[in-house]
């Protein structure tokens, strides 16, 4: 709704996000997809097609976003899944040990395994043959792999929870340091939601009732920080990204496939390992590149017009399909020129 009414409609909850002053709108980010202002710590998910309160990431395994309402439940899932896999691994190991103990015979220079039948107790409840041994060994490998992979995710989640952050906010903090270092300013960015105590940060997510503290819209901040310090930093980073973006023109067609075979061996094997989309390119398309790898670039394709109101499509594309434009049409300045001054 209009900011003059002192209300900001929030698509992540079924009620109005009431603000004390209409000037607060200047500190909030506007979601063009949902056509509303986003509450602090909220982000838009392309997979769910909605804004999510305190979004951490979109998990394809649960087909949902991890955010304010289910952050604790998701973290407990990351804890209990490895514990269940450890229990299953113990069962598999003991099963193979007890079954192979009666079938292994040691010689002076060899070890023989008789998988036909048990020597001491041939009346087994479940026959343990070669196929059962292979299946148990395969399941043991899966259980151990899941324990390591999911266990590492649990450690990562606990690190961000103990600092009262999310994975996205940790990345925003890293970009804040990079922005300050790039422009060599005297400002310092302090994450506003870190309560200064790991126990207090822990209680922000985990409660005895299972319901997280707060309403997901307004958050307590540490002393000396502005309530919109994080959103102000995000707005600065978006403005900085527009300043540091470089305009490219497509010189080859690209279909948008994940691993293009016709764009070279190095491009094929170095495709970005991310869920971010690829964008199809036609010869002559204009792209604003914001970041890139050695053989890939990420940017926004201008579809309608070169102005700010043009519709843009974001994604990765091969670097060899584009060339740098000599002049930036928005500033009529060489793209290689100094862009540090703002």
Query: What is the dihedral angle through the alpha carbons of 175, 176, 179, 181, rounded to the nearest 10 degrees?
Result: -110
Cα(39)–Cα(43) distance, integer angstroms? 9
Alpha helices in 14-106 (DSSP H): 71-101
Helix/strand/coil (H/E/C) assignment for every residue in 290-322: EEECCCEEEEEEECCCCCCCCCEEEEEEEHHHE
Rounded-to-integer distance, Cα 279 and Cα 291, Å: 15
Contact 82, 151 (CB under 8 A): yes
Catalytic residue among 3, 13, 34, 59: 59
Taking each helix axis from N to C end, the angle separating 71-101 and 198-205, rounded to the nearest 10 degrees, works out to 90
Nearest CA to 247 out of 175, 151, 312, 180 is that of 312
Q: Is 59 a catalytic residue?
A: yes
Smallest CA-to-CA distance from 113 within 124, 91, 128 is with: 128
* Rounded (to 5) percent helix, strand, coil in the chain: 35, 20, 45
Which residues are tagged catalytic? Answer: 59
């Amino acid at each position: 709704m209009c900011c003059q009414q002192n209300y900001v409609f929030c698509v992540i909850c079924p009620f109005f996000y009431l603000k004390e002053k209409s000037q607060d709108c200047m500190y909030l980010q506007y979601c063009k997809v949902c056509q509303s202002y986003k509450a602090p710590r909220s982000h838009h998910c392309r997979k769910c097609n909605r804004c999510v309160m305190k979004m951490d990431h979109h998990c394809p395994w649960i087909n949902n976003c991890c955010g304010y309402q289910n952050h604790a439940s998701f973290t407990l899932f990351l804890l209990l899944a490895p514990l269940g896999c450890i229990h299953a691994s113990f069962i598999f190991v003991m099963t193979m040990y007890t079954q192979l103990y009666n079938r292994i015979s040691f010689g002076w220079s060899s070890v023989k395994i008789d998988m036909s039948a048990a020597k001491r107790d041939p009346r087994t409840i479940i026959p343990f043959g070669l196929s059962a041994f292979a299946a148990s060994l395969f399941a043991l490998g899966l259980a151990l792999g899941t324990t390591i992979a999911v266990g590492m995710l649990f450690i990562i989640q606990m690190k961000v929870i103990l600092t009262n952050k999310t994975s996205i906010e940790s990345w925003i903090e890293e970009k804040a340091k990079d922005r300050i270092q790039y422009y060599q300013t005297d400002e310092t960015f302090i994450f506003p939601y870190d309560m200064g105590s790991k126990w207090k940060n822990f209680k922000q997510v985990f409660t005895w009732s299972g319901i997280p503290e707060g309403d997901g819209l307004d958050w307590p901040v540490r002393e000396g920080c502005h309530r919109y310090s994080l959103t102000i930093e995000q707005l600065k980073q978006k403005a900085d990204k527009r300043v540091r973006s470089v305009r490219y023109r497509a010189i080859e067609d690209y279909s948008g496939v994940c691993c293009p075979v016709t764009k070279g061996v190095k491009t094929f094997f170095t495709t970005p390992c991310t869920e971010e989309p690829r964008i199809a390119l036609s010869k002559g398309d204009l792209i604003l590149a914001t970041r890139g790898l050695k053989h890939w670039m990420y940017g926004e394709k201008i579809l309608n017009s070169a102005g700010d109101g043009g519709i843009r499509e974001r994604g990765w594309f091969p670097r060899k399909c584009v060339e740098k434009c000599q002049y930036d049409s928005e500033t009529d300045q060489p793209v290689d020129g100094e862009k540090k001054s703002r």
